[in-house]
Amino acid sequence: MQTASLKALDNYLVTREFMEDPYAILRQLREEDPVHWSDSMGSWVLTRYDDIVITFKEFSHFSNEGRLGKVVEYLPPERRQEFKVFEEHYRPKSLIHSDPPDHTRFRALVSKAFTPRVVESMRPRIQEIVNELLDAVQPSGRMDIIRDLAIPVPVTVISEIFGVPRSQVNQFKQWADEILAFQGVNKPAPEVIHKSQKALIEICPYMIDLLREKRRNPAKDLVSELAAVEADGDRLTEPELVNSCITLLVAGHETTTSLIGNGIYTLLRHPEQLQLLKDQPALMPSAIEEMLRYESPIARQPRLMKQDAELGGKKIRKGETVFQMLSAANRDPAYFHDPDRFDIRRKDNCHIAFGMGIHFCVGAPLARTEGSIVFSTLLQRMPELRLVDEKPEWEMHKPAARMLKTLPVAF
C-alpha cells in the first residue's frame, strides 16, 4: 500500500461515508494492512478474524480494564480536570471493564441473576410488547422501524427486567445514548465526553436509590437479584453494582435495537432471502445468526494494552489501544465463504458479533429471543412490508455501533 493511499484511507475511517458503508475499506485493510496504526483514530485497527480472536483470548496483554476511561488521556491536564466524574465512573471494575480473576467473580454473580430462565419467562411479555407496538401503527400502513419498534421493544424489556417504572423508560434511553456517544474512537471531542459525563452524573444517583430500594423491598427483577446474589460468599459492592447495572442497562437494549433495524433492512434489501424465510420459518435461528454476521450490531470494541505484544508482525506497545473491528472479522473470507453474500442458510456460521470466550455477551440469549419474536411477528402480521427509502439514514453519533437512525417502511 502506498503511503499516500494509506493516509487517505486512514482519514476515511472517521468519515460519514465510512459509517454508512465501511466494508470496502475494511476489506482493503484486511488484505493489505490488517494490523494498522490509525492516526485519525489514535489506535491500532484490527481487521483479520484470527488477530481479533487473539485479542479476545489473551487478556493478559489485551485488556478490558481501563479501556474506556483512557479516552480523556489525550487532553491537556487543565482540560482533563473537567472529567473527574467520568474517570471516576470507569475506574471501578465491573462486568465488561475487568479481566480475570475479577471478571470471573463478576460474571459468576451476574450470570446467576441473568439466566436463560429469566429470558424464557419474559417471552410472553416480549410478545405482548411487540403486538402493542404494531397495533399502534398498523392502521396507518407506515412506520419507522427504528423509532416505532427497534428502540421501544428492547428498552421496555430491559427496563421491566430491571424493575424500572415504564414512565422512566424514555429517560433511560436518553441516558444510554449519551453514555455511549464517546465510544468507538480513541480521541472523542470534549463536548461528547461532557455529554456522557452529564448522563452519568444523573443516572448514578438514580441507580443508587433504586438499588437501596430493592434491598429494602426486593421484587422479582434483575436489580433485586443482583443486590442479593452471592457467589462463593462474595457480593458486589455498591460502586460495582452501580457500574454493572448501568453497563447492563445500556448494553441490554442497544445491541438488540441494532439487530432489529439491521436485520429488517437487510431482509428487505434481499427479497429472495425474505421470501425464503417466509416459506421456511424454521430458518429463523440461522437467519438471525446471519443478520448478526452480515451487519454486526457492534462494529468495533477497544482493548487496552497491558504490556507490549507483537501482532501481525507489528509491535504494539503497553498503554496503546487496539480496536477489534468486528464488522471486518465477520466478513473474513478465511472463515466465511463468499462473505459479502447474505445467506440465511449459511452453515458453520462462526461469527463473533457477541464476542467470544470469557467476554461473550451475557445478554446474547435475550437479544436473540427479542429478535426472533420481532421478525416472526412482522412476517406474520405485515407480509407486504417494504422499504420507503432505499437509502435510510445511518446513526453517525455512535461510532462503536452499526445502527440505523431511521428505517421508514410501508405495509
C-alpha cell at 62: 489485551
How many C-beta atoms surround the C-beta of residue 131 within 10 A?
14
How many C-beta atoms surround the C-beta of residue 372 within 10 A?
16
- Looking at residue 4, its pLDDT comes to 46
DSSP 3-state helix, strand, coil percentages of the chain (rounded to 5)?
55, 10, 35
- Looking at residue 232, its pLDDT comes to 57
Delimit the domains of the chain by residue range. 3-410
Class of domain 3-410: mainly alpha
- The pTM assigned to this predicted structure is 0.90
- Looking at residue 117, its pLDDT comes to 78
- Looking at residue 234, its pLDDT comes to 67
Q: Which residue has the cell 421470501?
A: 275
Q: Using alpha carbons only, give the angle 200, 203, 207 rounded to the nearest 5 degrees.
A: 130
For every residue of 280-296, DSSP letters joined together read -GGGHHHHHHHHHHHT-
Give the β-pairing of 321-325 and 43-46: parallel
- Looking at residue 144, its pLDDT comes to 97
- Looking at residue 194, its pLDDT comes to 92
Q: What is the pLDDT along the chain (411 residues), one digit of tens a residue?
A: 455 477 778 889 989 999 999 999 999 999 999 999 999 888 999 999 999 999 999 999 999 888 888 888 888 888 998 999 888 888 767 777 788 888 887 787 777 666 777 788 889 999 999 999 999 999 999 999 999 999 999 999 888 888 887 788 888 888 888 888 888 777 888 999 999 999 999 999 998 998 888 888 988 887 887 777 655 566 777 888 888 888 887 777 889 999 999 999 999 999 999 999 999 999 999 999 999 999 999 999 999 999 999 999 999 999 999 999 999 999 999 999 999 999 999 999 999 999 998 888 888 889 999 999 999 999 999 999 999 988 889 998 888 899 999 999 999
